[in-house]
Chain A
Amino acid sequence: MSGQNHEHHVSSAGQLWAVAAGLFILTILTVVMAKFVAIPPPFDVIVALSIALVKAFLVAAFFMNLYWDTKFNAMLLLMAVAFFILMVSITLLDMLYRVDVVPSF
């Protein structure tokens, strides 16, 4: 990966079409799961978000080239996700355990 004259990764047209096909299929799957399969409440969100995460991985790894890229860029993305999870966790620790919901919210 290092060195002065390294070649940039060039995805083949077949690879790109395969990734897009995967994304199309997952989109149809998530709609079918949400609209035609009765999944009990907490798990419907988990299924929908899991499919979204797989789609996001496909886009980030193969369309945005992180799979072939320097690991530093992938680390930046993962750090952003980690800090987002931190923000959500700390905020929910407050918001979910209040005796009274904030008035007018």
Chain B
Amino acid sequence: MANHSTTQTAHVQHHFVDGDQQFDTAKLGMWVFLVNEILFFGGLFMAYIVYRAWYPELFTEAALELNTFWGAVNTIVLIGSSLTVAMAIRSAQKNQTKGLKINLLITIGLAIVFMVIKGFEYSHKFHLGIFPGQFYSYEGLQHAQAPIFFSIYYMMTGIHALHVIIGIGLMMWIYVRARRGEFGSDYYTPVEMTGLYWHLVDLIWIFLFPLLYLIE
């Protein structure tokens, strides 16, 4: 813990010149992590691209098993949560702790709505026997590579959903710290970083939605 008497502000660690430098360093580190995430999802998109190039008719047929309406609703929900996270950061920048807490709670709520819809989509597919890989037992779509499409589908949306769950945890942590009054215009780095992470989760979904749900 930094000492109030020797440093300018309590949160600036001794190896940084000032709060700005610490903030920019944290942000650079966060971007390096986000770039890693993009390349990590890039591998999954690569698998998608290769299989779609090989079996275009399979992707057209299999997309009919996905519900465009709920996919679109989830897109709207995630964009809405990106807006509230941006508003939460704005509140922190303007020293409005109440606005910060309210926006974080709305974001957590929207993230839970996303997961509930995703859960209904998954359970509907499990009910039909649409499982990934060798566990696939759905009669309605007979294609030798159909299990592979759904392996890609579950892997992409599943890892994305895992990111949403981690995001919910992070925002609860930020909420608890906001309640303790730790954030304000001079220090809101964790809010900003969690926000960047959450926007990336939104960014990935922006590509997943048209690629998986909107193939005609």
Contacts and interface: CB of A to CB of B under 8 A. Distances in A.
A63 B158 CA distance: 24
Mostly, the A contact residues are helix
A87 B207 CA distance: 18
Secondary structure at the B interface, as helix, strand, loop or mixed, is helix
Contact of B35 (A45, A52, A76, A96): A76
Contacts of B87: 13, 16
B165 interface: no
Contacts, number: 126
A66 B191 CA distance: 16
Contacts of B202: 59, 63
A76 B31 contact: yes
Contacts of A20: 79-80, 82-83
A72 B28 contact: yes
A23 to B, nearest CB: 5
A52 B38 CA distance: 15
B72 A31 contact: yes
A8 B34 CA distance: 21
Given A24-B79, A88-B46, A91-B50, A76 B216 contact: no
30 contacts: A4-B18, A4-B20, A6-B20, A8-B23, A11-B90, A20-B83, A24-B76, A27-B72, A27-B79, A27-B209, A35-B214, A35-B216, A44-B216, A48-B214, A49-B211, A52-B209, A60-B199, A64-B196, A64-B199, A73-B28, A76-B31, A77-B34, A79-B35, A84-B39, A84-B42, A88-B45, A88-B49, A91-B49, A95-B50, A101-B54
Interface string B18-51: 1010011001100110110011001001100110
Given A34-B210, A44-B216, A56-B207, A96 B53 contact: yes
B86 interface: yes
B214 A69 contact: no
A17 B32 CA distance: 28
A10 interface: yes
